[in-house]
Amino acid sequence: MVERDDPEVIGRRVQRLRIEQGLTQRQLAEPAYTPAYISTLEAGRVRASDEALRHIAERLGVAYEELVTGRPAHLATDVRLRLTDAQRTLATGETEAAAKQYGELREEAATLGLLPEEAAALLGLGECGVETGDLGAAQEYFELAERCLADGPLTGRVPALRGRAVAHYLAGELRYSVYLLESTIDELNRSGLHDPDALLPLYASSIAPYMDMGAQARAAQAAELALALAPQVSDPALIARMHRQVARTMLAEGRYAEADASLAKASELYRQLQIRTELANCHWMRGYLYAQQGELARAEGELREAQAMLSAKRAALYSSQVAVELADVLHRRGKSEEAAALLHDVLGDFSSERGAMHSAAAHRLLGIIAEDARDTEKAEEHYVRALSVLERAGAAGDLADLCRLLGDLLRRTGRVEAALDAYRTGLGHRTAPGTTTLGPAPAQPPL
């Protein structure tokens, strides 16, 4: 939506352009309006309709956007074209280059007063922050984008809200992440805004925090809803590239409205490419469910599919998280050496502020593998490191399980008092009130 100037400013602009072209008020008005209406408009005493301004712009031989904003139409279209270029850059994994593009576009859009384009650039910077693990900056960019879009519909703010939730989740703030996602889903569905493009990424992004909070049933439900809403796109990258080239041609020919239409299609397709990350989470969830049911071959297949969709270049942190789940399945299938190698490969991608839960899971599994190999010293080291991470994250259910593993290890090695301390710690976390309890599930869309 174009932000129009005040009626007085538009009126003076219409008068200046009319005089420059040697037109009378009657000539400008005919055949749809009267000279008196044009006089009132030029004096700034009426807020003209979009229809009237489009008529006047056509008579004056200028673009509607230029008439109502004072900016040549090609400037805004050029910014949108370069935004799709930045989307393409990010979608292909060149995060640093994309961040540079988005940063320049943010400044340019702000200077030109292009609020939606500024919000799009901020969203892009937030996505770059998530990709690189700069979660504090990502949260800030998403919040700024949400403010830019505050006066628009909720569906338009969903990418910013979802981005904030993902950044908070990756920073270990599970409850706040779930709150943001569920409250947005609930508001969309209760308001009748059943937009699959808005709901799909919200449901898919909720899977990981649900799992970490021990809400497996709700995670499974979210995964199935996301897959049911998923759009079917044969080759979005190819089609998006075509639309970008068409837009460039039209822009060079001065066909700005048609160029904008092609850019909108390209932008949507690049967004769908990014949804592949969300859909990968659904394969991840299915793999987890199959693993829980003991169907390990199917679980391995789903998790490998998720990893393929989350190529390390495109989404390194998510790919590393899936690798931990895959390693667990490989270990249970008797492929412990492959599992351990996979875990050691990805441990460097995690920290206490970035993927903490999966860092703990990796150390836990390495501890189990070490125990199986009768290396109790190495097993204890991994359990203690996992315990430290989980205590900071406040993951009660996982803490209780880990304390049991550590206690059993200590008891088998003759350290009974230390084992009792570990068991007591685990019981305290297991019985902590409200640690995994969620409120009512959000309203569902009609499928």
Q: What is the pLDDT of residue 355?
A: 66
Among residues 138, 137, 134, which one has the least CA distance to residue 159? 138
H-helix segments, 113-231: 115-132, 135-148, 154-170, 174-190, 196-212, 216-229
How is residue 345 written in tokens? 């490969």
Encoding tokens for residue 233? 């796109």
pLDDT at 431: 47
> Can you give the pLDDT at residue 184?
93
Give residue for tokens 């981005």: 163
Sign of CA dihedral 269, 272, 277, 282: negative
As a whole number of angstroms, the distance between CA 154 and CA 176 comes to 19
- The amino acid at 441: A
CA distances from 392 to 181, 314, 395, 430 (A): 23, 28, 8, 16
In the chain, % helix, strand, coil (3-state, to 5) comes to: 75, 0, 25
Calpha distance 121→85 (Å, rounded): 11
DSSP states of 257-286 as a string?
HHHHHHHHHHHHHHHHHHHHHHHHHHHHHH
Token code pair at residue 96: 């640093």
Q: How many other CB atoms are found less than 10 A from the CB of residue 431?
A: 10
62-65, long-range: CB < 8 A, 24+ apart? 62/17, 63/256, 63/257, 64/2, 65/2, 65/256
125 residue type, one letter: L
- Average pLDDT, 10 consecutive residues per value, the chain (447 residues): 77 90 90 90 89 89 80 76 85 82 92 86 92 87 93 89 90 87 90 78 81 75 73 50 56 63 70 64 76 86 84 62 88 92 82 69 89 90 85 67 86 89 75 47 64
Tokens of 255: 């066909």
User: Residues 56, 59, 62, CA angle at the centre, nearest 5°?
Assistant: 80
Q: Is 354 helix (H, G, I), strand (E, B) or coil?
A: strand
Residues 6+ apart with CB under 8 A from 113: 3, 69, 71
Nearest CA-CA partner of 361 in 212, 242, 252, 246: 212
Nearest in space to 137 (alpha carbons), one of 99, 109, 111: 99
Distance CA(425)–CA(94), nearest Å, equals 45
Task: Quote the crossing angle between the two packed helices 316-332 and 115-132, to the nearest 10°.
Answer: 40
| Contact between 299 and 326 (Cβ < 8 Å) | no
Instruction: Tell me the sheet residues that pair with 351.
Output: 354
Give the count of alpha carbons within 13 A of 292, CB side only: 10
Element (H, E) at 404: helix 396-412
Q: Is the dihedral of CA 264, 270, 272, 275 positive or negative?
A: negative
